Amino acid sequence: MKTVLVLNGPNLNLLGTREPAVYGSQTLADVEVLCAQACAAQGVKLDFRQSNHEGVLIDAIQEAGRAQAAGSLVGVVLNAGAYTHTSVALHDAIKGAGVTLIELHISNVHAREVFRHHSYISPVAKAVMAGFGVKGYALAIAGLLALAE
């Protein structure tokens, strides 16, 4: 059985504690359950992670590239949080790893502040999903698997 990696960046561990109007009231633990259900329904395993550290996210993407090349990983759903808008290093890591990656945002970043409109992830992502709330995680997993068919 292949694996899907769902990778979450900085501050997403705070989900459900503040800004419910933007991010909803579900916690990251709730999101993990939602992702586990989506993966079970599609017959794949879930690897669910969160880190506040750019280097840890880069290590995970490099590891994902090796796992995909070895045939054990379908790809990655990445919510890079605010690193989306700042990180050339994540851009380079995704490009270098050659991994199939869906960029995900809970909120519609294009309807928010101008500094959230630019993404360093989008040019190296296979697809982008934003604005579906936490339900977007399940939709992104389904989309990743549809692309892999």
Q: Could you tell me where the DSSP H helices lie in 4-49?
A: 20-23, 28-42
Choose, from 83, 91, 105, 120, the residue flagged as catalytic: 105
Answer whether 94's CB lies under 8 Å from 61's CB: yes
Q: Is 118 a catalytic residue?
A: no
- Please tell me the distance from the alpha carbon of residue 113 to that of residue 148, in angstroms, as a whole number: 33
- Is 137 annotated in the active site? no
Selected from 76, 103, 107, 137, the binder of ligand CA2 by CB under 6 A is 107
* Per-residue interface string for the shown chain with ligand CA2, residues 61-100, x marking contact by CB under 6 A: ------------------x-xx-x----------------
Give yes or no for a contact between 75 and 45, defined as CB atoms under 8 angstroms apart: no
List of residues 6+ apart from 83 with CB closer than 8 A:
9, 10, 54, 57, 90
CB-CB contact of 129 with 80 (8 Å) = no
Q: Which is nearer to ligand CA2, 47 or 103 (CB)?
A: 103
The pair of three-digit structure tokens given for residue 78, joined into one six-digit string: 């990445």
User: Is 17 near ligand CA2 (CB under 6 A)?
Assistant: yes
29 sits near ligand CA2 (criterion: CB under 6 A):
no
Structure-block tokens of residue 75: 């790809």
Residue among 4, 5, 101, 106 that touches ligand CA2 (CB under 6 A):
106
Residues found near ligand CA2 in the complex (CB under 6 A)? 11-12, 14-15, 17-19, 23, 79, 81-82, 84, 105-107, 109, 116
- Any idea which residues carry the catalytic annotation? 23, 105
